[in-house]
Amino acid sequence: MPFHYFEYSFLFLPAVIAVYFLLTGRGHRTLAQAWLLLCSLLFYVYLSPLYLPLLLLSIAVNFALGKAVTPGAATRTPFSRKAMAGIGIVFNVALLGYFKYSDFFIQNFNSLFGKNFELLKILAPLGISYYTFLQVAFLVDSYRGKVRENGLLPYALFVAFFPKIIQGPIALQAEIVPQLNDPGRARFDPGNFARGLLFFSLGLVKKLAIADNLAVWANQGYDHAAALMLFEAWFTMLAFCFQLYFDFSGYSDMAIGAGLMLNIRIPDNFNSPYKSLSMQDLWRRWHITLGRFLRDYVYIPLGGNRVGPVRTYANIMVTFLIGGFWHGAAWTFVLWGAMNGLGLVVHRFWNRMGMRMGRFPAWLITFLYWNITLVMWRATNPGDAAKVYRGLLGLDGVMLPVSLKKLPLISSMGVTFGPWLANLGHKQEHYIYLIAASAALCFFFKNSQELAEKLKPTVAWSLFVALMLGIGIVHMTRVSEFIYANF
């Protein structure tokens, strides 16, 4: 029952909201939380029925450990608080490592030592990367004494809350549980519902009308074309760049929207990242909650920038190698993380040397470099990435439409003319306009958060929300999945 299915939008979500506010309106806040938890678990079972026991085990163990590591805890154990926190982190990382990375390590061990150990072929539980990171953060925050409200029911709901269990955002316990326990959020709020509906409708359009259409070219270029000529490679790269943004930010918008309808504010995950002027700026705007986790729970504990420049650069690289590997059990993700870490190291070194550049070249270099890193992210193996990189440089040929053949300057440059997008399937030139429109939306228009802040109870805004919702509903007939759903 993904967000963009009819069953979710017109049956599950309305029923959850209606019963929740019916219960809270009569003063049954605990029962209302239990209702949300039950619905969240049913939502998870619908998507990943085999792994509900694992999710419940993870919640129970981390809740107990969180109690044990809190300063002044009455829980008695033979271990110190620090040791218990370490045990909890190892437990979470071990679960993630076994279910998500076992085959990766076995494959590489076999290749390195010439062995032939059989792969486990484990299907990774949906959302394990997300609920692992948020519970690691919970344990660390508990150890630091930052957790104030920590009942089992609100904690379980915080972890399993259906809008964010599969793809995040990676919220902190202190951001969600106090809202669940706040009596002021117990009644239906028309303003929150309207903003939530706006977020949800924008997310539907982003995912179904934009990302899924861009996926046609991106999939053809990466997965099916044997080689890519210059313009084919550039269109393939740009198609995936915008597909990924609209897919993932679309999901985040729908998660935020569903939360707002229940008076629960899930943290923002995107803030116009393609307007960034540096890789550091981009990572403050892209997958914000992941960047925050990596900064606060990996980079700063490693020493952050409080050490010398060489150690700082090493800390950045280690942080992004972990971030890259978190995305998937493949060397392409590790290389993608390394490329991002290198981009931030170069940016920091550039600033340390006191060098500056104008806004436009800074934006252009950042955007192009991000695209180049995403080639490695999207490719299923380094060979596929090399295919796209070769095409970007024109090493597999340059072809233009026959209509340009009459231009003598171009004809004399060794360019061939013909079906210039043949390796991307049919000559579907409307995808060029879709890429251009996607770029315009990312570069020049307000993002979802900015639109939601301006929402007013007017006819014009009502028509806009209705239009977005209508466009999304029309596209619901397609079968598709979110890119990050398997992470």
Query: Which distant-in-sequence residues (6+ apart) come within 8 Å of 81 by Cβ?
Result: 68, 69, 70, 71, 73, 143
Compute how many other C-beta atoms are within 10 angstroms of the C-beta atom of residue 63. 20
CA distance 370 to 363: 11
DSSP class of residue 421? Answer: T
- Matching residue, tokens 């076992």: 102
* Nearest CA among 338, 374, 328, 339 for reference residue 104: 328
Helix axes 382-392, 359-378, angle to 10 degrees: 140
CA distance 366 to 374: 12
Query: Which distant-in-sequence residues (6+ apart) come within 8 Å of 393 by Cβ?
Result: 230
Sign of CA dihedral 178, 184, 186, 189: negative
CA distance readout (Å), 154 to 22, 118, 183: 19, 41, 14
Task: Decide: helix, strand or coil at residue 400.
Answer: strand
CA distance 194 to 456: 9
Residue 228 one-letter amino acid: L
Which amino acids are annotated catalytic? 327
Cis before residue 169, ω within 30 degrees of 0? yes
Task: Decide: helix, strand or coil at residue 416.
Answer: strand
CA distance 330 to 382: 10
CA distance 136 to 158: 13
Q: Going by DSSP bridges, is the β-strand pair 416-417/399-400 parallel, antiparallel, or unpaired?
A: parallel
- Matching residue, tokens 């290198």: 342
CA distance 151 to 65: 13
CA distance 363 to 38: 46
* Nearest CA among 202, 193, 305, 319 for reference residue 250: 202
CB 105 within 8 A of CB 112: no
